Each structure stands twice: as structure tokens, then as C-alpha cells.
Amino acid sequence: MKQAILLTAFIASVHLCPGSIATINGNNFQQSVHKETALITLPQMQQMLSEIMNAVGLQNDFELREANVLNLEATISHRKRYISYNPEFINQVNAVAKDKWAVMTLLAHEVAHHLEGHTVRKCGSKPTLELEADEFAGFILHKMGASLEQSQEVMKYIAAIKTSKTHPARASRMLAIETGWNKVSSNTDIAVKSSQSISNKTAGN
């Protein structure tokens, strides 16, 4: 499932690199990958995906592949679940964010499209579906140890300020991530209170 991408205006302040051009939402932009920023390889992306699925608690049966796509896509073909990504785009996001969690959020978002059944519906991108995937990403990233700020960071670069026909506004997406992120704390509090209650009842017997 395609994710509409819009890099914010400050991208222009970063040094340009000839030959590194991508088209996103009809706009061309050039973004250099700094020498000190290591390129993310396919094996590294596969490792990130494995870490996400470990946090989910499910077997990783997704086929991750580099492809000629705009950014990232979650699709099903011949009963196989794919996550396709544009390596140039991933490296540009990594270079701007300077934090692995930005790419992790994007991968978790695509995983959500599969697990939430969005790819089975084959109805394309819709704001409600994107918010579901964002909330899932926030939940998983918290479980993996990311702060709320780290979980939301990538939206500063890729999310449009206003809602479109396919994607929600940046503020809504960041709120969805926050909602998912906070669910981990809520579930933990419930588990702790339940455990304490059981311990108290046992002690009283």
C-alpha cells in the first residue's frame, strides 16, 4: 500500500547531491546522503523487520524486497505477502532523520497494513486505514524501546500538513502514533495492578 510522502521545506537547506533525485507527490527533490551516514542494506532492513515481528510476537512470513516503488508498499501477490521499498528513499529518510527509528516506523506501518487486513481489502490508501497503521507502529515502537518523540519523528519529514484523499494530516498521524505508543503503558499498568491484586488476595488467604 502506497504511503504518500512529502518532505518538508527544510530539506532544501541540506547540501544537494547531483544524480540523487526522487519524485514524491509530483515534486522533485535532491537529498544527499552524508558520508558519515551509512547506507541501509537489504540484510539490515530484513533484520529490522525481524525485530519488529519479534516485538509483535508473530512469525515473520513477509517477503521484503527492494523495488522500483515510490517509497514503501505492502502488497499480496500469489498468496505471498510483500513489503517493497525504494532503497534510495529509505537512505534519504535515514540521512535526514539520523535515527534508525524513522525507518523502523515506516516498516512497522507497512507490517500493520498486512496484519490489519488492509492489503486483503485491496481498497488502496485511505486516511482511516493509514491512521490504524500509524497507531500500530506507535504501539510496536514503544515495545521495542523507542521514545514517543523517536516514534513520531519520521512524520515531520513525510507527512503532509493537510489531509488528502488518501492520507491524514501530519497532526492526526502523530496523534495516532501517540495513541498506540500510550497503549503499551496502559497495558503495563493494567498487568501490574492485576498482579498486585492477585498477590494481595493470595497473601490474605
* CATH superfamily of the 9-204 domain: Metalloproteases ("zincins"), catalytic domain (3.30.2010.10)
With bands split at pLDDT 50, 70 and 90, how would you rate the model's confidence at 204? low
The CA distance from 83 to 177, in Å, is 20
Residue 70 contacts residue 25 (beta carbons within 8 Å): no
- Checking 28-37 for CB contacts under 8 A at 24+ apart, the result is 31/7, 31/92, 31/95, 31/96, 32/95, 33/91, 33/92, 33/94, 33/95, 34/95, 37/91, 37/94, 37/95, 37/98
Tell me the pLDDT tens digit for each residue of 134-165.
999 999 999 999 999 999 999 999 999 999 99
Cell of 178: 501517540
> Which residues contact residue 205 at a Cβ distance below 8 angstroms, ignoring those fewer than 6 apart?
none
Cell of 17: 547531491
Pick the residue with more confidence: 119 or 37?
Answer: 119
Q: What percent of the chain has pLDDT over 70?
A: 72
| pLDDT for 128 | 95
| pLDDT for 205 | 53
pTM of this structure: 0.76
**DSSP output for 31-45:** ----TTSPPPPHHHH
Tell me the pLDDT tens digit for each residue of 10-62.
333 332 232 222 222 323 334 555 545 679 999 999 999 999 999 999 999 99
| pLDDT for 121 | 87
Residues in the chain: 205
Residue recorded with cell 495513541: 179
> Domain spans of the chain?
9-204
Mean pLDDT of the region 105-119: 97
The Cβ of residue 65 has, within 10 Å, a number of other Cβ atoms equal to 13
Tell me the pLDDT tens digit for each residue of 71-106.
999 999 999 999 999 999 999 999 999 999 999 999
Q: Of the given ranges (35-44, 65-74, 110-119, 195-204), which has the lowest mean pLDDT?
A: 195-204
Mean pLDDT of the region 168-179: 98
Residue 66 pLDDT more than 70?
yes
| pLDDT for 34 | 53
| pLDDT for 54 | 97
